[in-house]
Structure formats: structure tokens, C-alpha cells
Amino acid sequence: MAKKPRVKIPKAVKKGDVFVVKTLYPHKMETGRRRNKKTGEKIPRKIINAFECHYGGKKVFSTELHPAVSANPYISFHLTAVASGPIEFKWTEDGGKETSLKKNLTVS
């Protein structure tokens, strides 16, 4: 699996059309409940705990993720095409690490 997040949006849409955004973030989503088989020590919790999408300078989608979410979280949602420009995606991990990605959308 890829080491960086993947996002799928259409290359071009008509103004007012509703389109699907699909995201996949390759991540183990360690819950903090498992133990290292060799040492017996708990493996620290490390999950993606938040996701945001910005379009046209506004937050259009956000969600909180919890330890019950499976590894490699897949998120899908719908947006309405308003104007051409970047759509920005941000995943936040325990500890504050952020991963961002931009995709350009063309609206005709």
C-alpha cells in the first residue's frame, strides 16, 4: 500500500453538480491496547484522530476518528461544485502530526 494519502475527485465537473470525494490514508491506527509480542509492553496509541476538507476557503467536511476505526481509514463524502480551485485535505494524528494534500478541481 502507498505510504501517502490518496484522494480521488473528478478532474472536471459542471457548476452545481454534486460529486463524490474519496480518501484513503495508509495508517496502522494503533489503539494502545495491544502488546509487543517479544517484550510484553503496551504499544502506545497512535491514530488519525481528525480529518478536514476545505473548498473555496471554507471548511466543508470534518470528522473525528476514534480507536475503533480500522487501519487505513477510508472516508467518502459528497460536495457540490461551486468554483474551480484547490480542494485541501488535512489528517491529524495523535501527537499533533498533520498531513496535508491538495487536489485541483475544474468547474465549467
pLDDT tens column, 38-61: 999 999 999 999 999 999 999 999
User: Which grid cell sits at 4?
Assistant: 501517502
Architecture per CATH, 6-20+28-33+42-107: Sandwich (2.60)
Residue 20 has pLDDT above 80, yes or no: yes
Domains of the chain, residue spans: 6-20+28-33+42-107
The model's pTM is 0.90
State the burial class of residue 76 (Cβ atoms within 10 Å of its Cβ: 0-12, 13-18, 19+): exposed
